[in-house]
Amino acid sequence: LMFRRAVSNLLSNALDHATVGSDVELRTYQAEGYVVVEVTNKGQPIPPEHVEKIFDRFYRLNASRQGSAKNTGLGLAIVKSIMESHRGKVDVMSQRDNTTFALYFPRLA
């Protein structure tokens, strides 16, 4: 249930921020002791000064969304909490017109 919530939050964000008519990609693979789930969208990159803050509770990149009931600034904080509870981690890479969020779940031995 928590896995679905984390992926759902990332997919929802990707769809909200993707360039109209572009694809959102969902990819899984194994790497260095982890099973990785990636969600990638094409669109405006996240400015570097915001990357570390986006996982903070109630942090919103776009201040013009302050009145929106849909965007509470909790989605990525929830994703981070879920990953920590699974002893995993979440990472983001955003440059040019691609943003990728990666969920790293530790592989069982």
Q: Do the beta carbons of residue 100 and residue 90 sit within 8 Å?
A: no
Task: Give the residue among 34, 10, 35 at the shortest CA–CA distance from 24.
Answer: 10
Instruction: Give me the pLDDT at residue 63, please.
Output: 53
What's the chain's average pLDDT?
Answer: 88
Instruction: Give me the pLDDT at residue 67, please.
Output: 39
pLDDT, tens digit, 9 for 90 and up, residues 64-103: 443 344 567 788 999 999 999 999 999 999 999 999 999 9
| CATH code at 2-106 | 3.30.565.10
Residues 15-23: contacts with CB under 8 Å, at least 24 apart: 15/41, 16/71, 17/41, 17/43, 17/44, 17/99, 18/42, 18/43, 19/43, 19/97
Q: In degrees to the nearest 10, what's the CA dihedral of 31, 36, 41, 42?
A: -10
Q: Do the beta carbons of residue 18 and residue 43 sit within 8 Å?
A: yes
- Note the pTM of the prediction, 2 decimals: 0.86
Percentage above 90 pLDDT, the chain: 69
* Tokens 């969902």 found at: 26
